[in-house]
Structure 1
C-alpha cells in the first residue's frame, strides 16, 4: 500500500492554537521519533497571545492524548509581518527526532477547492481539487522547490519553507473523519546524518490572500533565497556550461546493448546514425547520448568500458573519431547509483542504508528479462561513500582521457535518499567538483531536476511522465536545461531501447522553453523510419536556440 493511503485510525486529539491576524486559521504540532509519534500535551501548553503567538510545552502526549510523556519540550512562535505568517519551531525529545509536522486547519475553503500547485506543476492543472487527498514530496518530480500555492492566481495562498539545506519536506492535505475541515500537514524530515534529540525546523511561511502579482513576488523571493543557499547560478553565467551546450538543438539517443545482451546498435552503426543525422541538422548542434555503451545495460554497472559486443575499445574510438569529424558531442551514460553486486564486490560498503542504519535499502529492481520477476543482484549505492564516488570519478575520467568524450550522464541522481552515513547531496556535489577539477570543460547531466540539483547539473532529463508545460517555468529555465527521458519511444512502434518500459509511442514535438528535443535510435529506427528521423531533425533545426 502506498504511503499516501496510510493514516491513523483514531483522532490524535491534538490541541490547536491561534494564528495572529488570521481569524479561523489554527495550527497544531506533532513530533516523531524512530519509535513513536507525539503531540503537545494539551494540559501543559502555555500560550502567550498578542501580535505574535508563543506556545511552550514542557510535556508531550502520545498521539491520541491518552498517555502523557515527560520526554522534552516544544517551543513555537508564530509572527506576522508584511502580510506573511512565519513559524519558528524548536523541539526537544529524549529520543532522536525523526520528523516534525505542522498541521494547519481553517485555511480558506474556496482556495483549497481550487487545488494546490507548485512552480513545476503542469499549467492548467492542480493537486487536491475539490478536496481530493494528495501528497507532495521535496525533493522530487512533483515538488522541485519547497514553495506551493493554493487557489487561482488572482486569489490564493502561498506556503513555503526557507531551508538552507536539502532535507525532505512533505505536504499532505486530507480531511479525516474526525476533522471539521481539510488539514494541511507540512512535515520536516531532518537529515539522518545529523539526527539529534533537538530539532530546529527551518522557517515556515504562510501568505494568505495573495494576488497573482504578490504570489509571483513571493516565489521570486523564495528563489533568491535558494540561489544564495545552494549556489544556484543563472544559465546565462554558469561556468559549467560551455558554448556548445548553449547551442545544442537536438539530443540523439543511440541505444547500445540491452540487459539481456540484445544489441540495438554497434558502435559502427551508431557512427552511421550520426552521419545520417548530420545530413539534416548542423551536427555541431547535436549531443549524442549513449545508454548501454558499456555492454549489458545495468548488468555491467558499475564497470564502465566500451562493450565488446558493440565493438570494444577500437569500435568506440572509431565512433569518437566520427563524432569529432562531424562536430557531434558524445555523452555516455553511467549509473549514478546502480550496481550489479557481481560486478562490484565492495557494494555493501556503499549501499544506501535506511534512516536508522539498520538495513540496506533494496531499490529499483526492474524485470529486465520479462519473466515478470525483478532481478535479484541490482543494488543502489551512495555516491557519498568515498570509494564508490572515486570509482565513478575514475571511470568517467578514463573515458574522457582515452576517447575525448564531452559529457557524462549520471542516471537516477534526481532521487533523494536519507542515508544516515553519507548525505547524498554532498556526494553529488563532491562528485561534480572532482570531475570539474580534472576536466573543466566536461558537461554533467542527470535524470530529473529540483532546485539544489540544478545547481550541480546544468542539464537533466525531464522526469519520466512529468508535464513539460510548467506553471512557473522560470524555476527551471533561469538555471538549467532539460531534454527528453531515456524511455521516450523511438520513431515507429516506439521501442524504449535499453530501458525497461518496452514500447511507448514517441510524444509529438512541441516547443518548450529550455527543453531540448530528443530522438532515439533503436535497431529498426533508421532502416524503417528514416524519414521520420529526418523530419525530427529538421523540426529541431527550425526551433533551435539563437
Structure 2
C-alpha cells in the first residue's frame, strides 16, 4: 500500500486554536519512534499568540502522556508564522502542524507542471521530485517552511471522515542523525496574497541557507556548458549484457550528429559505459564488450577532435553486493538505524521480479565516498572526460549514521579539489541539490512546463532523463522502462533538449535524429 493511503481509523481529537482575524484553526501533533501524540486540552493555555501545554495525550485522547509543547504564533498584516518547540521523554521523530479553514482550492508547488494542480487527497515530500523547495500555494494562500537545513518536510492534504472539511498538514522531520528529546521546528509561514513576492522571499532565504548562486555567477559552470544545445544519450550495455552501442558506434553517432548541430554544443552522456548497467556498480572501468580501455580512449579522442564533451555515468548510491564486498559499512539504513533499506530493485531481466544483490549506499560514509572519488578521478585523469554524472542523487534518505546531503557536499568538494574544471551533474534536482550540481536530469521529462521556472532557472539547468524514449519505437535503452514514446520537442525554460541513441536509431531513423539536432540548435535553452 502506498504511504499516502495510510491513515488513522479514528478521530485523533486534537484541540484546535484560532488564527486571529481568520477562519483558520490549527493544532499540533508530536511523534516519536514509539507513538503519536496530540495535546492534552486540559493542560493547554493559549493567550497573546503563545500556546503552552505541559502534557500530551495519545492520539484519540484516551490516555495522557508525558511531554510538552510551546508554540509562538506571530501575526501581522497578511502573514502568520508558527515556531513550535517540543519536549518528550523519547527522541522526537516528527512534528505536525494541522490547519483547517484554508481556501478549498487546488494546490501547486513551484515545480508543479502548469495545468497539473493538486486537488483531493495528495502528498508532497521535500526534498524530492514533486517538491523542489518547501513552498506551496492554494488560492491566494502560500505555506512554506524556512529551514536552514535539508530535512524532510511533508505537505499532506485530505478530508478524513471525522473532520467537517479539508485538513492541511505540514509535517517536519528532524534529521535522524540528530534526534533528541527536545526539538524546535523551523518557522512555518502562511501568507495571504502576494504569492510572487512570497516565493521570491522564500528563494532568497534558500539562497542564503544553501549557498545557491545565480546561474550567471556560478564558478562551477564551465564556459562550454553555457553553449550546450543538445544532450545525446549514448546507451551502452544493458544489465542483461545486451549491447546497444560499442564505443566505435558511439563515435560514429557523434560524427553523424556533427553534421546537423555544431559539435561543440553537444554533451554526450554515457549510461552503461562501464559494462552491464547497474550490475557492475560501483566498478567503473570501460566495459570490455563495448571496446574496453582502448575503445574508450578512441571514443574520447574522437569526441575531442569534434569538440563534443563526454559525461560518463556513475552510481551515486547503487552497488552490487558482489562487486563491493564492504557494502554493509555504507548501506543506507532506516531512520532508527536498525536495518538496511532495500531500495530500487528493478526487474532488469523481464522475469517480473526485482533483482537481488542490489543495494543503495550512502556517500556520507567515508570509505564509499573515497571509492567514488578515486573511481571518478581515475577516469578523468586517464581518459580526459569533461563531466561526471551521478545517478539517483535526487533521492533523499533519513539515514541516522551519515547525513546524506553532507555526504554529497563532501563528494563534490573532494572531486573539485582534484579536478576544478570538471562538471558535476545529478539525477533529479531540488533547491539545495542545485547548489552542488549545476546540471541535472529532469525526472518528469523535458516537456514538463514548470509553474514557476525560476525555482530552477535562477540557479541551474536540467535535461531529459535517460529514460526518454529514443526516436522510432521509443526504446529506453539501458533503463528499465522498456519502450516509451519520445515526446515532441518543446522549448522550456532551463531545459536542454535530449536525444537518445540505441543500436538502430541512426540506421533506421537518421532523418528524425537530424531534425532533432537542428531543432535543438535553433532553440537554445533559456
How high is the TM-score relative to the length of structure 2? 0.99
Q: Distance in 2 between matches of 1:94 and 1:105?
A: 29
Instruction: Report the CA distance between 1:107 and its aligned residue.
Output: 1.4
Instruction: Report the CA distance between 1:46 and its aligned residue.
Output: 1.2
Indicate conservation of the 8 Å contact 2:137/2:143, yes or no.
Answer: yes
Instruction: Report the CA distance between 1:467 and its aligned residue.
Output: 5.8
Match of 2:41 in 1: 42
Match of 1:59 in 2: 55
Instruction: Report the CA distance between 1:468 and its aligned residue.
Output: 2.0
Match of 1:32 in 2: 31
Verify: 1:147 aligned to 2:143, yes or no: no
Are residues 467 and 534 of structure 1, via their aligned partners in 2, closer, same or farther at CA, if it must alter by over 3 Å? closer
Equivalent position to 2:420, from 436, 440, 449? 440
Match of 1:182 in 2: 166
Are residues 48 and 466 of structure 1, via their aligned partners in 2, closer, same or farther at CA, if it must alter by over 3 Å? farther
Q: Distance in 2 between matches of 1:14 and 1:478?
A: 41
Verify: 1:81 aligned to 2:76, yes or no: yes
Q: Distance in 2 between matches of 1:467 and 1:277?
A: 22
Equivalent position to 2:148, from 157, 164, 171? 164
Q: Distance in 2 between matches of 1:341 and 1:508?
A: 39
Equivalence map 1:486-497=2 (5 Å): 486-497=466-477
Q: Distance in 2 between matches of 1:85 and 1:526?
A: 58
Q: Distance in 2 between matches of 1:68 and 1:521?
A: 63
Indicate conservation of the 8 Å contact 2:491/2:525, yes or no.
Answer: no
Match of 1:484 in 2: 464
Indicate conservation of the 8 Å contact 2:446/2:464, yes or no.
Answer: no
Match of 1:5 in 2: 5
Q: Distance in 2 between matches of 1:492 and 1:34?
A: 51
Match of 1:193 in 2: 177
Match of 2:95 in 1: 100
Q: Deviations over 1:10-30 (max 9, x none)?
A: 0000000111222x2111000
Q: Distance in 2 between matches of 1:465 and 1:177?
A: 37
Q: Distance in 2 between matches of 1:467 and 1:101?
A: 35
Instruction: Report the CA distance between 1:466 and its aligned residue.
Output: 8.0
Flag structure 1 segments of 5+ consecutive residues without an equivalent. Answer: none
Equivalent position to 1:324, from 279, 288, 304? 304
Q: Distance in 2 between matches of 1:535 and 1:467?
A: 17
Verify: 1:389 aligned to 2:369, yes or no: yes
Q: Deviations over 1:289-336 (max 9, x none)?
A: 000000000000000000011000000000000000000000000110
Instruction: Report the CA distance between 1:543 and its aligned residue.
Output: 1.0
Match of 2:108 in 1: 117
Match of 1:356 in 2: 336
Q: Distance in 1 between matches of 2:188 and 2:237?
A: 48
Equivalence map 1:108-507=2 (5 Å): 108=103, 112=104, 114-128=105-119, 132-151=120-139, 156-208=140-192, 210=193, 214-464=194-444, 468-507=448-487
Flag structure 2 segments of 5+ consecutive residues without an equivalent. Answer: none
Indicate conservation of the 8 Å contact 1:248/1:286, yes or no.
Answer: yes
Indicate conservation of the 8 Å contact 1:20/1:79, yes or no.
Answer: no
Q: Deviations over 1:176-196 (max 9, x none)?
A: 111111110100000000011
Q: Distance in 1 between matches of 2:19 and 2:486?
A: 50
Instruction: Report the CA distance between 1:142 and its aligned residue.
Output: 1.1
SS at the partner of 1:483?
A: strand
SS at the partner of 1:257?
A: coil
How high is the TM-score relative to the length of structure 1? 0.95
Number of equivalent positions: 526
Q: Deviations over 1:188-220 (max 9, x none)?
A: 000000011011000000112x1xxx1100000
Q: Distance in 2 between matches of 1:503 and 1:545?
A: 27
Q: Distance in 2 between matches of 1:299 and 1:480?
A: 31
Q: Distance in 1 between matches of 2:445 and 2:46?
A: 47
Q: Distance in 1 between matches of 2:253 and 2:25?
A: 62
Backbone CA RMSD of aligned residues:
1.0
Instruction: Report the CA distance between 1:81 and its aligned residue.
Output: 2.2
Instruction: List 4+ stretches of structure 1 deviating above 3 A.
Output: 464-467
Indicate conservation of the 8 Å contact 1:464/1:487, yes or no.
Answer: no
Q: Distance in 1 between matches of 2:471 and 2:27?
A: 53
Q: Deviations over 1:464-502 (max 9, x none)?
A: 358620111000001000000000011111110000001
SS at the partner of 2:185?
A: strand
SS at the partner of 2:376?
A: helix
